């Protein structure tokens, strides 16, 4: 009877362990890989290491994670300072003879060259792991406290009685300078700044080398929970803000202490991240984004709300304030705990750039206070009137000597790239220039477009490196967009293409413009808030605000020719063509 009781207790204990496991798999698997890359903003070859690490991760999604550790002689304390105490500790645990270099699953006591990373990663992924690791991070955005739960399940036996569990916080999308001798990683440049990715910000386990765990025998489940207050900023001096939307967490198990480092790494994972609170009603509003191209004063915006409370959200009220205007929004429906949904709104924005604020004022019928700041922009645009439903344009880029730094694109109102060009060749002569022409055919009418030219070295296409510039011509050879080369990291221009067939039919119903041809004046009758006159190459010649339903435009300063009248009625724009003939 005693033996039966002991057996029953053992079975119950085994069953309890199996039920307690929530996140980690109990199925044997091969090793996943941590690639710790030692790098720095002053290292001109390190961007090639970033490119190689990115490619290894892209080839092995969910199996390989790179950690960029800014430490050593090329790490810089100017902004953004990404040096950390834990990063210095890990850097000091390995013999390093050059940069970039790294360790793959800490299988070597010395950092290895970037050319060896891929082979070493593949070798690791083909080996069976002694354990699996998984878990979840729950972040309270109000308190910035992260509750980290990690499970380790041993599918085999480790060679030692004690292993080490490490949890690290990384951050993406940190903009800053970066030496780049050969433009090795062009896709990570944005508007003249380098986008630093998977940067080590902190190790949240009690020691940089991990938290000791045992036993390490087959069938063991180990669960660890850590409470981690996420700092507002990390780094001194010139620290970098910790953006909750751009952080993620990795966990890995290393085998033993060898020298100062715990190594090798047996396996790793990225922890699931979620935002949750213990409050019953807690909507969390995400960043407000503006539509790409809009040839109207009425701009489109979007944002996401996540229900991080414990109760179902059934109603929300919002308030938006931009440029002295206020707008209220309401929503009813069902948004379960842990889920999110997207909202859209439109608002008239005067010409210029403005700071806006979107607030949640009520949730489930009770007052609520949460807000997010955003930028609203309204730029002027050139307008092309064409007879058909499509047209052709030509983009001229007169590059400077460093053509490999220059790219451009044209994006439509849906955010789709409809044309792009560059990078161009490097020119041998100091201060040389070269003309590059792109023919864009069958560009659809009745849409708005955004042309943007970029220089990834933040110095335009001008000055000491050649007197570059750019312009765009319509199908008749008229320039309707042009700019000099002194634009820094980028310059943008909006333009619309409208079919005269559609414009004239709408305009006839809602707007009267006479006489046409005109002599000394032009009368405009209809609903309007502003009127503008443009010439055939898109230059604005006059603009005026209208109080009423009619206005008289003096043409005494206008020479004979064709002009375009643009009438704006609170965001609705109608364009009419007229001529001056004396």
Backbone angles phi, psi at 16, to 5 degrees: -65, -40
Query: CA 180 to CA 114: how far, in whole Å?
Result: 16
Q: Give the residue, 9 or 406, on which the prediction is more confident.
A: 406
The answer to whether 531 and 541 have CB atoms below 8 angstroms apart is: no
Residue 5: the pLDDT is: 31
Residue 2: the pLDDT is: 27
Residue 536: the pLDDT is: 63
The answer to whether 342 and 302 have CB atoms below 8 angstroms apart is: yes
Residue 158: the pLDDT is: 97
Residue 19: the pLDDT is: 46
Give ∠ CA 116-122-123 in degrees, rounded to 5. 90
Query: CA 52 to CA 34: how far, in whole Å?
Result: 14
Entry pTM: 0.61
Residue 464: the pLDDT is: 80
Give the residue among 7, 46, 10, 316 at the shortest CA–CA distance from 182.
Answer: 46
Q: Return the bridge partners of 233, or none.
A: 241
The answer to whether 356 and 375 have CB atoms below 8 angstroms apart is: yes
Q: Is pLDDT of 7 > 50? A: no
Q: Is pLDDT of 488 > 90? A: no
Query: Could you tell me where the DSSP H helices lie in 230-381?
Result: none
Residue 567: the pLDDT is: 86
Task: Write the DSSP assignment of 181-208 as a string of letters.
Answer: TT---GGGEETTEEEE-SEEEEE-SSST
Once rounded to an integer, what is the mean pLDDT over residues 467-493? 92
pLDDT digits (tens, 9 = 90+) for 496-543: 998 876 544 444 456 888 888 888 889 898 888 888 888 766 677 888
The answer to whether 216 and 171 have CB atoms below 8 angstroms apart is: no
The answer to whether 453 and 397 have CB atoms below 8 angstroms apart is: yes
Give the residue among 486, 482, 559 at the shortest CA–CA distance from 519.
Answer: 559
The answer to whether 169 and 201 have CB atoms below 8 angstroms apart is: yes
Residue 190: the pLDDT is: 86
Query: CA 175 to CA 189: how far, in whole Å?
Result: 9
**Exposed e or buried b per residue across 553-568, where buried means at least 16 C-beta atoms within 10 angstroms of its C-beta:** bebeebeeeebbbbbb
Residue 14: the pLDDT is: 34
Residue 13: the pLDDT is: 35
Question: What is the number of alpha carbons within 13 Å of residue 191 lying toward its C-beta?
Answer: 6
Strand segments, DSSP code E, in 197-282 are 199-203, 211-213, 221-229, 233-234, 240-241, 247-258, 261-270, 272-275
pLDDT digits (tens, 9 = 90+) for 468-478: 999 999 998 99
Query: CA 380 to CA 295: how far, in whole Å?
Result: 8
First vs last C-alpha separation in the chain: 118
Give the residue among 343, 344, 347, 345 at the shortest CA–CA distance from 325.
Answer: 347
Q: Please tell me whether the peptide bond between 264 and the residue prior to it is cis, using omega within 30 degrees of 0.
A: yes
Give the residue among 254, 218, 223 at the shortest CA–CA distance from 150.
Answer: 223
Backbone angles phi, psi at 31, to 5 degrees: -70, 140
Residue 9: the pLDDT is: 32
Query: CA 114 to CA 46: how far, in whole Å?
Result: 9
The least confident of 71-85, 116-130, 339-353 is: 339-353
- What's the mean per-residue pLDDT of the chain? 90
Residue 530, H or E segment: strand 530-534
Percent of the chain predicted with pLDDT > 90 = 66
Once rounded to an integer, what is the mean pLDDT over residues 479-494? 91
Once rounded to an integer, what is the mean pLDDT over residues 392-411? 94
Q: Is pLDDT of 92 > 50? A: yes
The answer to whether 571 and 351 have CB atoms below 8 angstroms apart is: no
Give ∠ CA 29-33-36 in degrees, rounded to 5. 165
Structural domains in the chain, CATH included, are 30-129+163-203+235-273 (3.40.30), 283-377 (2.60.40.10), 381-499 (2.60.40), 511-580 (2.60.40.3080)
Residue 4: the pLDDT is: 31
Q: Is pLDDT of 149 > 70? A: yes
Residue 545: the pLDDT is: 85
Query: CA 309 to CA 280: how far, in whole Å?
Result: 5
Three-state DSSP class for residue 493 = strand
Residue 20: the pLDDT is: 63
Query: CA 213 to CA 555: how far, in whole Å?
Result: 85
Residue 438, H or E segment: strand 434-444
Three-state DSSP class for residue 319 = strand
409 burial via Cβ count (<10 Å: 0-12, 13-18, 19+): middle
pLDDT digits (tens, 9 = 90+) for 14-61: 333 344 678 999 999 999 999 999 999 999 999 999 999 999 999 999
Query: CA 95 to CA 261: how far, in whole Å?
Result: 11
Residue 297, H or E segment: none
Contacts 24+ apart (CB under 8 A), 7-14: 14/219
pLDDT digits (tens, 9 = 90+) for 304-337: 999 999 999 999 999 999 988 899 999 999 999 8
Q: Give the residue, 19 or 484, on which the prediction is more confident.
A: 484
Q: Report CA-CA distances (Å) from 209 to 165, 360, 375, 545.
A: 8, 43, 42, 67
Residue 287: the pLDDT is: 87
In this structure, the dihedral spanned by the alpha carbons of residues 9, 14, 19 and 25, taken in order and rounded to 10 degrees, is: 180
Backbone angles phi, psi at 508, to 5 degrees: -60, -30
Residue 392, H or E segment: strand 390-399
Residue 6: the pLDDT is: 32
């Amino acid at each position: 009877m005693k033996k039966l009781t002991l057996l029953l207790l053992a079975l119950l204990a085994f069953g309890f362990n199996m039920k307690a496991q929530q996140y980690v798999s109990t199925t044997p698997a091969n090793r996943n890989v941590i690639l710790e890359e030692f790098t720095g903003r002053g290292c001109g070859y390190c961007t090639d290491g970033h490119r190689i690490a990115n490619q290894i991760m892209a080839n092995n999604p969910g199996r390989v994670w790179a950690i960029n550790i800014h430490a050593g002689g090329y790490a810089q304390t100017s902004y953004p300072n990404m040096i950390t105490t834990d990063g210095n500790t890990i850097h000091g645990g390995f013999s390093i003879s050059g940069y970039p270099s790294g360790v793959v699953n800490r299988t070597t006591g010395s950092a290895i060259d970037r050319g060896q990373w891929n082979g070493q990663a593949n070798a690791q992924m083909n080996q069976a792991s002694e354990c699996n690791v998984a878990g979840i991070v729950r972040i309270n955005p109000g308190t910035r406290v992260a509750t980290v739960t990690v499970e380790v399940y041993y599918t085999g036996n480790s060679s030692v009685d004690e292993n080490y569990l490490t949890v690290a916080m990384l951050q993406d999308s940190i903009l800053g300078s970066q030496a780049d001798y050969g433009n090795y990683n062009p896709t990570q440049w944005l508007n003249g700044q380098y986008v630093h990715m998977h940067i080590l910000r902190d190790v949240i386990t009690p020691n940089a080398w991990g938290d000791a765990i045992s036993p390490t025998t087959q069938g063991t489940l180990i669960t660890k929970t850590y409470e981690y207050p996420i700092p507002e900023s990390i780094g001194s001096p010139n620290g970098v803000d910790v953006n909750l939307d751009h952080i993620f967490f990795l966990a890995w198990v290393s085998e033993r202490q060898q020298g100062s480092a715990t190594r090798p790494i047996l396996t790793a994972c990225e922890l699931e991240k979620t935002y949750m609170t213990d409050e019953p009603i807690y909507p969390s509003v995400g960043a407000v984004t503006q539509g790409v191209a809009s040839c109207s004063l009425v701009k489109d915006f979007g944002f996401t709300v996540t229900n991080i409370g414990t109760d179902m959200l059934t109603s929300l009220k919002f308030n938006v304030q931009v440029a002295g205007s206020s707008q209220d929004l309401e929503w009813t429906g069902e948004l379960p705990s842990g889920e999110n949904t997207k909202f859209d709104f439109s608002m008239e924005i005067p010409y210029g750039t403005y700071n806006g604020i979107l607030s949640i004022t009520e949730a489930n019928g009770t007052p609520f206070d949460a807000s997010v700041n955003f930028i609203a922009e309204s730029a002027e645009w050139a307008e092309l009137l064409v007879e058909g439903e499509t047209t052709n344009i030509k983009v001229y880029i007169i590059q400077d000597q460093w053509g490999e730094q220059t790219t451009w694109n044209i994006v439509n109102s849906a955010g789709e790239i409809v044309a792009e060009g560059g990078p161009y060749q490097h020119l041998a002569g100091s201060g040389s220039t070269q003309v590059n022409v792109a023919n864009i055919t069958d560009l659809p009418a009745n849409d708005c477009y955004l042309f943007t030219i970029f220089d990834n070295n933040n110095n335009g296409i001008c000055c000491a490196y050649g007197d570059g510039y750019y312009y765009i011509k319509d199908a008749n050879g008229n320039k309707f967009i042009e700019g000099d080369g002194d634009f820094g990291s980028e310059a943008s221009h909006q333009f619309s293409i409208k079919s005269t067939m559609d414009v004239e039919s709408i305009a006839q119903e809602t707007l009267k413009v006479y006489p046409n041809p005109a002599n000394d004046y032009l009368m405009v009758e209809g609903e309007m808030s502003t009127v503008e006159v443009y010439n055939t190459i898109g230059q604005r010649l006059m603009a005026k605000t209208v109080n009423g339903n009619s206005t008289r435009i003096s043409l005494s300063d206008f020479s004979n020719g064709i002009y375009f009248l643009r009438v704006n009625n609170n965001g609705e724009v109608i364009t009419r063509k007229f001529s001056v003939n004396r």
